[in-house]
Chain A
Amino acid sequence: MCLALPARVLKLQDANMATVEVGGVQKDISLGLLEDVAIGDYVIVHVGYALSRIDEEEARNTLAMFAEIEQRFCREDSQ
């Protein structure tokens, strides 16, 4: 029910609406719950509203940490 997906903002429209792309499908959603969203941003979309903007730097940090864990535990193992 609370499943919400990352979507890329393609076009800003009037009245706080935007066209976004999610999994190859375009949809019109409301940006009314967020401030200062720009074209190219990724947002978490749920029931037609963007709930949150995705922070790319945070995402990269998280992935880098996963890679570090993998390096540490899988490399130790092969030695």
Chain B
Amino acid sequence: MKYINEFRDGKLAQGLARAIAAEVEPDRRYHLMEFCGGHTHALYRNGIMGLLPENIQMVHGPGCPVCVLPMGRIDAAIALANIPDVILCSYADMLRVPGAKGTSLMQARGQGADVRMLYSPRDALEIARQNPEREVVFFAIGFETTTPPTAMALLEAQQLELSNFSIFCNHVLTPPAMRGILAQPNVLLDGFIGPGHVSTIIGMQAYVFAAHEYGKPVVISGFEPLDLMRAIQMLVRQLNEGRAEVENEYTRAVPEQGNLRAQALMEQVFEHRPEFEWRGLGTIPDSALRLRECYADFDAERRFDLQIDNASDHRACECAAILCGLKQPRECKVFGTVCTPEHPLGACMVSSEGACAAYYTYGRYQERES
């Protein structure tokens, strides 16, 4: 067992497709949000959208950290990279996203800034060790999956007394973002597919508020096509039976409590920001992390006295409505014309995991034919 191909079997997918079709109530519409951008991508890439009954509508959530990072923060990272002696490191996805001034980190590199692509935050420590006379800044982004690795890297840097290493922290949190979506007026949403890898860290308890306070079922799902189809079936069943519970489809990887060691590390290193701006969704309280006071020496925002400007998306951009299930990408005037993956105007087009980008790459022709 390699835990990949076994969960992509076409025959089993047919069975699940028929099971879903048999269970949906014909005169009911099901609005299901896959929160995670990885799920959005998997739904399109594997053709699952074409296997679902017409009355199941998938709403593509904001769970793509590259997409939801405000442009002002990208501009701040570019400003950092342009400081002489700074080496700015980040994940590949982050480097091609343009900021408010139309420039990306990749372009800044072309103009002479020292920007490096990382696989792991540990690589940034290695760069700091090899360049003691330079300032190495890790532009940290991501949900609860990348946050514990950032915490581990920081503690290792402290242990190694790497005084030339700092972190520009942009880590964001899944449950407050779900709450932020549920609090939007007119949101059209019946249940959530919970992000599988985030859940390996935070566990099942973190979603109970959605079920209990908002009456929305949550089913945590793996990333293979059979996982997603089974999660959709489980959501349909909960809705038909009038239940709102947190269930786990991804039992092979997600323990009920999550990863307690990782949770303790996050708690040790980070604290909640009172509020944080999400591109496409606006300001959401308690939805992001910053370094605790005791790690201030490693905080790039303080070390470089960073200015973060407000920068709003293009007025024609419909990202907010798309992320709340009120509109589909095709209903946005700029989709596929002015706003494309090469020149994204709004959050959902920014990375391959954004709703509009996935739709642009895999979905738009299928729908046109039908």
Which chain A residues in 35-64 approach chain B with CB under 8 Å? 35, 42, 44, 46-49, 51-52, 54-56, 58-63
Which chain A residues in 1-50 approach chain B with CB under 8 Å? 1-6, 8, 29-30, 32-35, 42, 44, 46-49
What's the Cα separation between A61 and B7 when bound, in Å? Answer: 12
What's the Cα separation between A74 and B279 when bound, in Å? Answer: 44
User: Hey, which chain B residues are within 8 Å of A3, CB to CB?
Assistant: 38, 197, 223
What's the Cα separation between A73 and B6 when bound, in Å? Answer: 19
Which residue of chain A lies nearest to B258 when distances are taken between CB atoms in the complex?
A52
User: Hey, which chain B residues are within 8 Å of A56, CB to CB?
Assistant: 1, 252
Q: Which of B4, B15, B148, B198 contacts A33 (CB 8 A)?
A: B148
Q: Which of A2, A47, A54, A67 contacts B121 (CB 8 A)?
A: A47
What's the Cα separation between A5 and B155 when bound, in Å? Answer: 25
Determine whether B37 belongs to the interface, using a CB cutoff of 8 Å to chain A: yes
Q: How far is the CB of B40 from chain A (nearest CB, A)?
A: 11
In the complex, the answer to whether A1 meets B251 with C-beta atoms within 8 Å is no
Q: How many residues of A contact B (CB 8 A)?
A: 40
In the complex, the answer to whether A48 meets B121 with C-beta atoms within 8 Å is yes
Q: How many residues of B contact A (CB 8 A)?
A: 58
User: Hey, which chain A residues are within 8 Å of B64, CB to CB?
Assistant: 1
Determine whether B295 belongs to the interface, using a CB cutoff of 8 Å to chain A: no
In the complex, the answer to whether A74 meets B15 with C-beta atoms within 8 Å is yes
From B79-87, B259-267, B284-292, B310-318, the one touching the partner chain is B259-267
Bits for B108-124, please: 1 = Cβ < 8 Å to A, else 0.
00000000001111110
- A residues sitting closer than 8 Å to B (CB atoms) are 1-6, 8, 29-30, 32-35, 42, 44, 46-49, 51-52, 54-56, 58-63, 65-67, 69-74, 77
New A-B contacts (10) at CB < 8 Å, excluding given A34-B259, A77-B18: A1-B38, A4-B197, A8-B2, A46-B197, A48-B123, A54-B253, A59-B1, A66-B9, A70-B12, A73-B15
